[in-house]
Amino acid sequence: MNNNSLLLLSKCAEFELTIMNNVFRMANKYKRTCMHPRSKQWHLIDYIIVSRQDIQDVLITRAMRGAECWTDHRLVRATLQMRMAPHHPKRAQTVCTFYSVSRLRDPSYLQTFQSCLDNKLSAKGPLTRSSTEKWNQFRDTVKETSKAVLGPKQHNPQDWFDENNTAIEDLLSKKNKAFMEWQNNPNSAPKKDRFKSLQATAQYKIRKMQDQWWGKKAEEIQRFADTKNYKQLFNALKTVYGPLKPTTTPLLSSDGDTLIKDKKGISNMWKEHFSQLLNRPSSVDQRALDQVPQNHTIEELDIPPSIEEVYMINGNKAICRL
């Protein structure tokens, strides 16, 4: 018990919250979350707190002794059974299918696609119906041919974690197995040392995989930039940074009560703001402006140059170049 715990309990009492760690009857090893480095005593310092009206939704709260999270704290997990209002199904949306159009760059795919499309169009015979029916028939034929020849577009995620998924799973499985053996016998020094060794090895190799992936991706982007292959360059940059997500910043209305989120409303709000900012009546006395000394207006500068002046200027520039 200390000042922080008293403050936590007072806040829970003030806002009608409940600490769920000690609500369920179980062994202390499933409640304690951290061991003091000097006294080697286990303490409960990680909490799951819910509102008092939501206690019925929590089925169990316990510390997971088998979860190794790269920290000296144990993972605390709560299993919930949420009671929510029935969801009204939305209207089904049309899903657009994208095909691997890039395969048409291959002459073999292009020839197969053309021959297959010609065969299907000729098999359906001459079109004597309306223009809408002709278009629908042609569209369906192209889709069927694209699906049969090109196939759907494959989305291959390019990330260092995905490319090294098998190696990372092997490292983590060995480390987790050693961690479970140590947890089953916490007083065994060899098992603890073996786990620490595998933990350091996994951390080193995973960081090395990540560095190698970033180095290879940087060389790839630089090669595309040097060869001026801008399409592949932007695709590689999109792989690293992700696609751009256009967002609009909401604005408050002039009365300060309504939040405007739609694009048209935001444009009208900015128009209204600058109209009030720039179209204000002048408060300067015109007599004061008349007293300001004015320079003499040189009317000759407004006359267009003559052909002789143009020739003279171009000749002087040519002489300067020589």
pLDDT in tens, 230-249: 888 888 888 777 766 666 77
Q: Are residues 183 and 124 in the same domain?
A: no
The values of phi and psi at residue 296, to 5°, are -70, 135
The one-letter code for the residue type at 294 is Q
Q: Is position 27 within any domain?
A: yes
pLDDT digits (tens, 9 = 90+) for 113-159: 888 888 888 887 665 667 788 888 888 888 888 888 888 877 665 67
Q: Are residues 165 and 223 in the same domain?
A: yes
The one-letter code for the residue type at 196 is K
Query: Using only C-alpha atoms, what is the Rg of the chain?
Result: 36
User: Predicted confidence band at 77 (pLDDT cuts at 50, 70, 90)?
Assistant: very high
Q: Are residues 228 and 251 in the same domain?
A: no
Q: Give the chain's length.
A: 322
Count of beta carbons in the 10 Å neighbourhood of residue 103 = 17
End-to-end CA distance of the chain: 91
User: Predicted confidence band at 95 (pLDDT cuts at 50, 70, 90)?
Assistant: low
Q: Is position 320 within any domain?
A: no
Number of domains in the chain: 4
Please give the average per-residue pLDDT across 75-90, as a whole number: 80
Q: Is position 292 within any domain?
A: no
Percentage above 70 pLDDT, the chain: 90
Q: Is the separation of the CB atoms in 225 and 234 below 8 Å?
A: no
The one-letter code for the residue type at 140 is D
Q: Is position 39 within any domain?
A: yes
- Which residues constitute the domain of residue 74? 3-80
Helices (H), the chain: 3-14, 107-123, 131-149, 160-163, 165-184, 189-226, 230-241, 263-278, 286-290, 307-321
* pLDDT for position 148: 86
Angle between helix 230-241 and 189-226 (nearest 10):
150
If phi > 0 it is left, if psi is from -120 to 50 it is alpha, else beta; for residue 151 that is left
Q: Is position 313 within any domain?
A: no
Q: Is the separation of the CB atoms in 67 and 75 below 8 Å?
A: yes
Q: Is position 257 within any domain?
A: yes
pLDDT digits (tens, 9 = 90+) for 41-69: 888 889 999 998 888 889 999 998 888 87
Q: Is position 223 within any domain?
A: yes
Q: Is the separation of the CB atoms in 73 and 63 below 8 Å?
A: no
Q: Are residues 179 and 121 in the same domain?
A: no
Q: Is the separation of the CB atoms in 60 and 79 below 8 Å?
A: yes
305 contacts: CB under 8 Å, gap ≥ 6: 313
Q: Are residues 139 and 170 in the same domain?
A: no
Q: Are residues 20 and 69 in the same domain?
A: yes
Q: Are residues 170 and 197 in the same domain?
A: yes
Q: Are residues 76 and 11 in the same domain?
A: yes
Q: Are residues 193 and 234 in the same domain?
A: yes
Which residues is 34 bridged to in the sheet?
43, 73
